[in-house]
Amino acid sequence: MIKIPIAIVGAGGMGGRHLRALDALYKSGMSNVELIAVCDIRRENAIHLADKAEEILGSRPIVFTSMEQMKKDRPDIQAVDITTDSGSHHLIAELAFELGYNVLCEKPLSLTIRGCNRVIEAWKKSGKVLSVGEQERRDPICRLNKAIIDEGIIGNPYSFIQGSARGGNDIIIWPWRHYKNIGGIFVDAGVHTVDQMMYYLGDIEEVFAVSKIWEPKRYKGEKIGVANFYDHWVNEVPDEIDANAEDMVISTMKYKNGAVGQWTSFFAAHGEVTEYGMIYGSKGSIRPAKQRRGDPLTITLDGAGTISGNDVLELVPNFHLDELPARLFGSERLGSYNTPFEDADRFLVALEYFELGQCIADGTKPEVDAYIGRKDLAVCNAALESSILGRSVTIEEIENEKTSVYESSINDHWKI
């Protein structure tokens, strides 16, 4: 198989996770991309990732601190995988298209609609591929969840109820997750949640929400980062920071198909941690998949009781995974899996890389394209806008910048 030369741009926590994903793809026997270079404005981070790549992949990528230099020195590189902090995505993706690269860009595509539109304009001019790194829907149990809903097993969707509460006044993952202009935690995590909510039930069209910053001072707690992906930089985290991004947003959302969603995203919760989700329809309910955990779905149907685990597969006899996820997770029909979180995480990103390679090679369209990426962001920002305006906000208003009070300071910060 032809291997498309690629580079990772952004060698922090997620850059390392993407490297592990490449390892999974290489070992699957289906690799269609090859890591040639890593680029980071912090040379030491790029060197660290290149060291890791040499150890994990067995070959050392070339280190760059600018994409322009990379283009000059290695014109054979066809695609960049952008894993820089979220605030910078629009700048880096725009430059990447100007330089003639295909792009896989981590979510969110940008922090504002204007930023997304800058990327979309550059992408359209370039004629290259743009895929947004939204991996969670690619989880085998999420695919099964989607098949169950599409098959009408729980009937017409009535409601999606979803929430999580945790965090207290700890720094969550990394300090910039508390800075509005770089990518606050509500948007950072929220685009994943919204993507799932719309993947299952279709587009959301209107949101009413209340948001808060409960904990404007955040402290370095016992746990920083995700798994051990950020350990290398742990000493760089200050003991305390001033947070200016929302840490609680409670939303009610209307779907285009008439369903109603309720979403609580609470990152300043002290005490007991909670996480819940249910989708209700006219015939029953489904407790949706928790991606990367492998837990079985639970379906409860009027008159038929509760169905879980592999029995769920009988409800969708035609459901099967594509070849690569089936190879990575071990079967093309899974009702649950025991793969550890770190492996499930890299397998899902491996699927993104594989799809990128396919899109470049044969014109396949990416599943999560620029418009889905922009809409995922628009729903989050509609919630934040709604809280400021004290009224419900449509996604159409946000996507067309008819109101952008929340986004305006971010646009000002980035001078866009």
Ligand X SMILES: NC(=O)c1ccc[n+]([C@@H]2O[C@H](COP(=O)([O-])OP(=O)(O)OC[C@H]3O[C@@H](n4cnc5c(N)ncnc54)[C@H](O)[C@@H]3O)[C@@H](O)[C@H]2O)c1
Is 291 or 403 the residue whose CB approaches ligand X more closely? 291
The span from the CA of 292 to the CA of 342, in Å, is 8
- As a residue count, the chain comes to 416
Angle between helix 185-201 and helix 370-389 axes, rounded to 10 deg: 120
Residue 407 C-beta: closest distance to ligand X, Å: 17
Looking at the Cβ atoms of 137 and 299, the one nearer to ligand X is: 137
Nearer to ligand X, 376 or 397 (CB): 376
- Residue (231 or 396) nearer to ligand X, CB: 231
Three-state SS at 251: strand
Of 172 and 324, nearer to ligand X (C-beta) is 172
Name residue 356's amino acid. Answer: L
Which CB, 205 or 295, lies closer to ligand X?
295
Contact 283, 155 (CB under 8 A): yes
Sign of CA dihedral 334, 22, 20, 70: negative
Q: How far is the CB of 71 from ligand X (least distance, A)?
A: 13
Q: Where are the beta strands (DSSP E) in 14-61?
A: 33-39
Q: What is the dihedral of CA 260, 264, 265, 269, to 10 degrees?
A: 180
d(CA 335, CA 11): 35
Q: Specify the residue for token string 């899902």.
A: 348
Q: Tell the smallest beta-carbon distance from residue 9 to ligand X (Å).
A: 5
Peptide bond into 108 cis (omega under 30): yes
- Tokens linked to 165: 């509460």
CA angle 140, 142, 147 (to 5 degrees): 95
Closest-by-Cβ residue to ligand X is 12
Amino acid at 151: E
Cβ 207 vs Cβ 389: under 8 Å:
no
Q: How far is the CB of 270 from ligand X (least distance, A)?
A: 24
Chain centroid, CA 295 distance in Å: 20
CB-wise, 137 or 153, nearer to ligand X?
137
How far apart are CB 266 and ligand X at their closest, in Å?
19
What is the closest distance, in whole angstroms, from the C-beta atom of residue 105 to ligand X in the complex? 8
Q: Least separation, in Å, of the C-beta of 66 and ligand X?
A: 8
* Angle at alpha carbon of residue 413, lines to 412 and 416, rounded to 5°: 50
Cβ-based nearer residue to ligand X, 14 or 350: 14
Report d(CA 348, CA 335) in Å as an integer.
Answer: 17
Q: Which residues are near ligand X by CB under 6 A?
A: 9-15, 39-42, 45, 83-86, 88, 92, 106-107, 133, 135, 174, 183, 188
Across the strands, what pairs with 131? 104
CB of 289 to ligand X, least distance (A): 15
d(CA 115, CA 117): 5
Q: Which is nearer to ligand X, 26 or 176 (CB)?
A: 176
CB distance 218 to 241 below 8 Å:
yes
Q: Measured from the CB of residue 292, what is the shortest distance to ligand X in angstroms?
A: 9
Label the pairing between strands 4-9 and 33-39: parallel
146 vs 292, which CB is nearer to ligand X?
292
Smallest separation (angstroms) from ligand X to the CB of 140: 16
